[in-house]
Structure 1
Amino acid sequence: MARCKDIDGSAGVPTFYGKELRYQRELAGLTLQQLVEGSFYGPSHLSEIERGERRMPAELAEHVDRVLTTDGFFQRRCEDVRKARRTGHAAYFERVLEAEKYAETIEEWCPTLLPGLLQTPAYARTVVRATHPLAPDEEVDDKVAARVARARLFETDHKAPLYWATLSEALLRQSILAAEDMAEQLEHIGALAKRRRIVPQILPWNCGPHPFMIGTAMIMTFPDAPPLVYTEALHTGDTIDDPALVKEYRKSYDWLRAAALPPEASLAMIEEAAEDYRNGKQTNRLDHCPLAQEQLQQRQRR
Structure 2
Amino acid sequence: MAGDRPAVYRLDLAYDGTNFHGWARQPRVRTVEGELIVALEKLLRFQPKLSAAGRTDAGVHASGQVASFAATEDLDVARVARALNGMLGPEVSVTRVRRAPDGFDARFSATARRYRYRLDTAVAPDPFTARFTWHRPGPLSVGRMRAAASELTGEHDFASFCRPPQPPGASTVRTLRRLTVASDGRILHVVAEANGFLHQMVRSLVGTLIAVGEGRMESNDMTAVLQARDRSAAGQVAPPYGLTLEHVTYGRGPTRTAGLPPPPA
TM-score with structure 1 length normalisation?
0.27
When you count strand as a share of all residues, which structure comes out higher? 2
What's the TM-score, normalizing by structure 2? 0.29
**Highest Rg: 1 or 2?**
1
